[in-house]
Structure 1
């Protein structure tokens, strides 16, 4: 009877029985070839597998998922502060103070993240755009960093630029920093060129913009490095065409600054973001609709937020396909507030959004439910940078 019971347990759990035949090294070798989402799910196979995957020593060999978001804090007349909001299940501890960066940088502002690297702007005085500053690219997981030489444009124009990081560890240990310059005129405020720093050459090059249309890039919206191209969100500003002035486009630029392209984004969203998820490029937007109650004695209104998630199916035709749509009525007691979608999870159909003045929310579009709430510091400036740890020691020309 006892033997029959043991046999039955083995039949009911064949995965655990088969898993016991593999050595730890072989399991790690197999897991290292899988997507991060699959590795995370395999923690549920057994306790030994969970401990094996969670071991800090083994993290260097396994693909990582989203750990959380870096973001800046700022108070008038005070220095920049840096914060980190952890996503449930991320598992990697992050110190947003970046203590490994030398003390010679009095103020550090977070600019961008890309595939485990972090782009920082370092200043002597944060309240002026005429002060000397440097860009620093670092890897928080390995505490390696590089200081970039000064960009080619005059320092007084720093706040008239959008700066982004481009890095793909699967292709090269080298990275690029792209600084898009725009006109300082209020009437014609559009991108006019880009400075590109290459860690391979250690130098900046300047390229004039090659767009026939006049595009204003969104500084507070995320960019995506995918397929050798940087993807940024911008607004089309054709002259004397009010109807078309609200069109939002995706701007694609190659790493040499020679190939520029635009793709129209779906219409009808008040706030928008792009992200790479499960190997595809996605666009998420949100709109808030108010329905006024005319029969009520009080001037009351009901409101709902609609979130849409689109996938770019065809680059040549610019075809977007709607994957998910959800209406959120008064999410989590947040009333009368715009919810801005700012990020898309890289491994699942979850979007991250923040109500104005509220905490960060994670919403599962597939199952249409809230899955996380992340508390934010009150002094945050509203730009959140997704972070996935990169444990590779390789960072080209990094300082020791």
Structure 2
């Protein structure tokens, strides 16, 4: 009997260019798994030249820490916490976490927001003092652009960056403005294409108060409001949308602790909240139909089981903080304060994973999710 000839895998006959072209059409989650196929595939995926063509996923979090300069004056500097274990020098998604490639006149750099690889920072000059700029940069390519001052700067509440490289190479920055009574008066939107700000008066309810979490999805920036709604605005300032929450999605006063955050995961808007009358339960909802505003309940997470606390009611404000939801899979990230740990929780399998010990304590600093972008974004705006 003749031996049946063993044939090699069909993939072995593919050229490197074809492999990269095929991988570029897959979701980022699959790209991460395919690093384990072989050493050759891993080198292809991690090669900096190929990264420009491949989708990327969450690699870590930016935040700022307070220190002192050579004259013992307080300064804030950015730091980056990677969530990728065993990351080698050739695979680092942030070559310069301190963002020292930004202009040397900046003494203090505070990351404020990030969207699809572009990081928005508030930068204070060393001289003259008390002068600052908002800067949008790409930490992966070390490109940056300084935003011009807005005529509405005196009313500024908070700024967020919106960017979708699949739609356009241009980005937008949303400045939410509020009056002395705390209500939103309007939104100033910066367009990198027009290189100018455009102010629009508030198109939501008159007494709208917004909170810090935001999500850029489907060309619109989304915020949580104190009216138990999610409100959204497009990049042109023409479409103002209000998405009601279900009665069961209610939350208590934001200033009392972990109540609600929003995030984008697997192409859908997600909403996480602590139940109004049961602080031991963290609930997760997804906007299953974006056009109709239909919410779908996904998970109930038992805080007692997750953390092993005896009294969540008294400890929830201090012992943990929700950070983000993973953009590609059912993971939430949170900080366990008394352990000073960054952890993740797999909502599909109910598993906790310790990511790393944090060097600095939380102290209310925002942890900003970062997905690297290796294309030459901002090159036309530098």
Does TM-score exceed 0.5, indicating one fold? yes
- Does structure 1 residue 307 correspond to structure 2 residue 307? no
| Deviation, structure 1 residue 184 | 2.4
| Deviation, structure 1 residue 214 | 1.7
| Deviation, structure 1 residue 325 | 2.2
Among 184, 201, 206, the alignment partner of 2:199 is: 206
Question: Mean alpha-carbon deviation: is it higher for 172-181 or for 69-78?
Answer: 69-78
| Deviation, structure 1 residue 311 | 1.1
Alignment-derived partner of residue 133 in structure 1: 132
| Deviation, structure 1 residue 374 | 2.8
Alignment-derived partner of residue 31 in structure 2: 39
- Does structure 1 residue 371 correspond to structure 2 residue 350? no
The structure number with the bigger radius of gyration is 1
Contact 1:349 1:366 in 2 (8 A): yes
| Deviation, structure 1 residue 117 | 0.3
Among 217, 231, 256, the alignment partner of 1:251 is: 231
- Does structure 1 residue 347 correspond to structure 2 residue 299? no
Among 213, 216, 224, the alignment partner of 2:209 is: 216
TM-score, scaled to structure 1:
0.81
Among 36, 52, 64, the alignment partner of 2:56 is: 64
| Deviation, structure 1 residue 213 | 4.3
Question: Mean alpha-carbon deviation: is it higher for 356-365 or for 139-148?
Answer: 356-365
Structure 2 distance, partners of 1:345, 1:154, is: 33
Among 302, 309, 321, the alignment partner of 1:327 is: 302
| Deviation, structure 1 residue 154 | 4.3
SS of match in other structure, 1:138? strand
Contact 1:92 1:389 in 2 (8 A): no
CA RMSD after TM alignment: 2.7
| Deviation, structure 1 residue 287 | 4.9
Distance 1:124 1:115, change over 3 A: same
TM-score, scaled to structure 2:
0.85
- Does structure 1 residue 110 correspond to structure 2 residue 111? yes
| Deviation, structure 1 residue 268 | 4.2
Alignment-derived partner of residue 168 in structure 1: 164
Contact 1:271 1:340 in 2 (8 A): no
Structure 2 distance, partners of 1:283, 1:181, is: 24
Structure 2 distance, partners of 1:200, 1:367, is: 44
| Deviation, structure 1 residue 146 | 0.3
| Deviation, structure 1 residue 340 | 2.9
| Deviation, structure 1 residue 68 | 0.4
Q: Deviations over 1:136-157 (max 9, x none)?
A: 10000110000111121244x4
Alignment-derived partner of residue 254 in structure 2: none
| Deviation, structure 1 residue 386 | 0.7
Structure 2 distance, partners of 1:169, 1:154, is: 28
- Does structure 1 residue 398 correspond to structure 2 residue 378? no
Structure 1 distance, partners of 2:113, 2:358, is: 18
Structure 2 distance, partners of 1:325, 1:21, is: 47
| Deviation, structure 1 residue 3 | 5.9
Distance 1:33 1:150, change over 3 A: same
